[in-house]
């Protein structure tokens, strides 16, 4: 459910009322009943909430939201747009239970609504966000953030870093690991032989060293090492032209050196329906590509498009990963 004080509960209700989503999966919501019922009321949709005590096969019915109740927050703990330590602790427990259910095989995937990092930290859970917490819960050393839509996928060598810090963080091993994890995940969940474009750090690929040496000394050797392992990666390529060719179908994903290098084109194309996918985990985790939207919570104006896309992508990944192939129009039986 994410932050009960944010738009999570209402976009969950809106997303699960969409007939294009529910045939693909049997969704189990982890969260707070009062928050979810308030979210349903905001949408004005004819939905009811049913509490589920175990994770046996769900016999889903149209118009019913199935909830595993993991918190009972007071109204003061989930005021609109006002994060609280109790709400932050609840978010932490939702994530932990989702990871446990995925690791045990009781569910096939998890899709997360946005959290408030400040409230989770104020509750004593010192993690920058979902990704770092999930990496610890699953015992994963290396993860990669992928942002994806129907037309473009990007993965990031560095994520939330000051731009001045990025060059020192772009190392041979980080570039190679990002290429490797991207290739492994795409091969398993999206396409059997992914074609990866690896971007340069500097304009014009460094212009032969005039604008920087990272391309020659770090990125090109990492791409060569990846190719030696059988990965179909090319680069370094200039970011100012590459995305044109990626959108023409030339590549299945673009490996970017820093956050805005990948996120600007991705959000230009997929502002409403972009999906955040954590690659490298032993479980499937997708997420909305936005925050808690405190300025919209309770107004009924928050878009559920990113969450719908995250649910659909989780179901498709679960189907592909289990060997049933992609599920563009239906993957009935996938619990997510």
| Cα 295 to Cα 59, 127, 246, 273, 330, distances in angstroms | 36, 24, 35, 19, 35
pLDDT at 131: 87
Give the DSSP per-residue string, 228-243.
Answer: HTT--EEEEE-HHHHH
Spans of all domains in the chain: 1-140+283-336, 142-280
Give the residue carrying structure tokens 């990666």: 233
Residues 152-171 have pLDDT tens digits of: 999 999 998 999 999 999 99
CA-based nearest residue to 3, from 78, 69, 73: 78
Residues 56-104 have pLDDT tens digits of: 677 778 899 999 999 999 999 999 999 999 999 999 999 999 999 999 9
Please provide the distance, in angstroms rounded to a whole number, between the alpha carbons at the two ends of the chain.
13
Share of the chain above pLDDT 90, in %: 85
Q: Is residue 236 reached through a cis peptide bond, with omega within 30 degrees of 0 on the bond before it?
A: yes
Give the DSSP per-residue string, 252-277.
Answer: SEEEESSHHHHHHHHHHHHTTT-EEE
CATH class given for the domain over 142-280: alpha beta
**What is the C-alpha to C-alpha distance for residues 110 and 122, in angstroms, rounded to an integer?**
24
- Contact indicator for 205, 213 with CB cutoff of 8 Å: no
**What is the C-alpha to C-alpha distance for residues 215 and 109, in angstroms, rounded to an integer?**
37
Crossing angle (nearest 10°) for helices 172-189 and 220-228: 40
pLDDT at 335: 43
pLDDT at 336: 46
CATH number corresponding to 1-140+283-336? 3.40.718.10
pLDDT band at 329 (very low <50, low <70, confident <90, very high): very low
Tokens at residue 66, please?
């199935």
Same fold, 1-140+283-336 and 142-280: yes
- Contact indicator for 10, 17 with CB cutoff of 8 Å: no
- CA torsion 26-285-162-155 (nearest 10°) is -110
């Amino acid at each position: 459910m994410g932050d009960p004080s944010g738009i999570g509960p209402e976009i969950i209700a809106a997303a699960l009322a969409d007939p294009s989503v529910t045939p693909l999966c049997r969704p189990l919501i982890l969260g707070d009943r009062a928050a979810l019922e308030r979210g349903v009321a905001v949408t004005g949709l004819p939905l009811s909430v049913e509490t589920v005590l175990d994770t046996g096969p769900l016999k889903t019915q149209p118009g019913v939201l199935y909830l595993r109740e993991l918190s009972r927050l007071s109204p003061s703990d989930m005021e609109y747009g006002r994060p609280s330590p109790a709400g932050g602790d609840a978010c932490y427990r939702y994530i932990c239970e989702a990871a446990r259910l995925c690791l045990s095989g009781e569910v096939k995937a998890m899709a997360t609504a946005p959290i408030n990092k400040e409230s989770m930290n104020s509750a004593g859970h010192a993690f920058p966000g979902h990704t770092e917490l999930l990496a610890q819960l699953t015992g994963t050393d290396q993860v990669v953030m992928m942002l994806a839509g129907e037309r473009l996928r990007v993965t990031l060598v560095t994520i939330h870093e000051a731009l001045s810090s990025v060059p020192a963080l772009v190392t041979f091993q980080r570039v190679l690991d990002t290429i490797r994890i991207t290739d492994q995940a795409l091969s398993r969940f999206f396409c059997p032989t992914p074609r990866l474009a690896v971007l340069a750090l500097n304009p014009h690929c460094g212009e032969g060293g005039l604008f920087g040496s990272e391309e020659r000394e770090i990125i090109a050797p990492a791409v060569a090492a990846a190719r030696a392992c059988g990965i179909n990666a090319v680069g370094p390529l200039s970011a100012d032209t590459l995305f044109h060719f990626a959108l023409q179908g030339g590549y299945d994903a673009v490996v970017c050196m820093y956050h805005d290098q990948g996120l600007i084109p991705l959000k230009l194309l997929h502002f409403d329906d972009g999906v955040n996918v954590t690659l490298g985990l032993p479980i499937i985790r997708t997420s909305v590509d936005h925050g808690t939207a405190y300025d919209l919570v309770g107004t009924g104006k928050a878009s559920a498009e990113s969450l719908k896309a995250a649910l659909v992508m989780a179901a498709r990944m679960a189907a592909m990963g289990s060997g049933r192939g992609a599920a563009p129009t239906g993957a009935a039986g996938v619990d997510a």
